[in-house]
């Protein structure tokens, strides 16, 4: 059976990805299955570049096919920030709470309580045979300063998909059906099924 490594140390992201990838005829591993691996240097200027950097890096280090994502939040009033720096918006070792606080501070600094925003995800699959596949997903919404919901992770409690619901209020299945990552993963599943057939 083909093995694919999910090139992420974020357990919430791995859980989300495994659920959607479960229809593939593959064994899905994560970086946690490999002990202490070095970190890939994500110095790309786009989500796509960072996803490819991670997938190539961990394909080399594990000797297996790798699937990596780079995703983040782009807030219009902040000129697209935090963008590719979403996971480390408040610093390299920031967690969800400090990143969310930094986001709220930035919105306050520009004097707004809400802004149009989008979540973006780029997925890169790199195989040991040299195959490289890319997919993307996006969901438009709004960032508001009042959090709602306790599900999800990252900026989900502040990302409103409509006037009254955030990503953090959705069930896992509902979130996966509309999210940026869910859209990119579904497209990747189609490409991988074709590759493995």
DSSP of 85-142, one letter per residue? GGGGTT-TT--HHHHHHHHHHHHHHTT-SEEEEEEEEEEEEE-TTS-EEEEEEEEEEE
The reply to whether 118 belongs to the active site is no
pTM listed for this prediction? 0.91
Domain ranges of the chain: 2-196
CA–CA separation, 96 and 90 (whole Å): 9
Could you say which DSSP state residue 40 is in? Answer: P
2-196: in CATH 3.10.310.10: no
Choose, from 12, 33, 69, 70, the residue flagged as catalytic: 70
Give me Rg for the CA atoms of the chain. 17
Query: What is the model's pLDDT at position 110?
Result: 97
DSSP H/E element including 63:
none
Question: Residue 196: its pLDDT value, please?
Answer: 84
pLDDT tens sequence for the chain (197 residues): 789 999 988 888 888 889 889 888 899 999 999 988 999 999 999 999 999 999 999 999 999 999 999 999 999 999 999 999 999 999 988 999 999 999 999 999 999 999 999 999 999 999 999 999 999 999 999 999 999 999 888 999 999 999 899 999 999 889 989 999 999 999 999 999 998 88
């Amino acid at each position: 059976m083909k093995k694919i490594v999910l090139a992420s140390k974020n357990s919430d992201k791995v859980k989300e990805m495994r659920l959607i990838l479960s229809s593939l005829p593959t064994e899905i591993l994560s970086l946690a299955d490999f002990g202490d691996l070095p970190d890939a240097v994500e110095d790309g200027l786009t989500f796509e570049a960072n996803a490819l950097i991670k997938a190539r890096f961990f394909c080399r280090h594990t000797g297996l096919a790798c699937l990596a994502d780079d995703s983040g939040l782009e807030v219009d009033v902040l000129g697209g920030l935090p963008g590719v720096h979403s996971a480390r918006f408040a610093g390299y070792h920031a967690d969800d709470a400090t990143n969310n606080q930094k986001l709220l501070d930035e919105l306050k600094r520009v004097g707004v309580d809400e802004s149009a925003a989008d979540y973006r995800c780029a997925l890169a699959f790199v195989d040991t045979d040299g195959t490289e596949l890319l997919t993307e997903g996006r969901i438009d919404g709004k960032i508001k300063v009042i959090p709602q919901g306790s599900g999800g992770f990252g900026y989900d409690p502040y990302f409103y998909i409509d006037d009254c619901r955030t990503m953090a209020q959705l069930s896992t299945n509902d979130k996966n059906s509309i999210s940026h990552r869910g859209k990119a993963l579904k497209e990747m599943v189609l490409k991988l099924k074709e590759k493995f057939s």
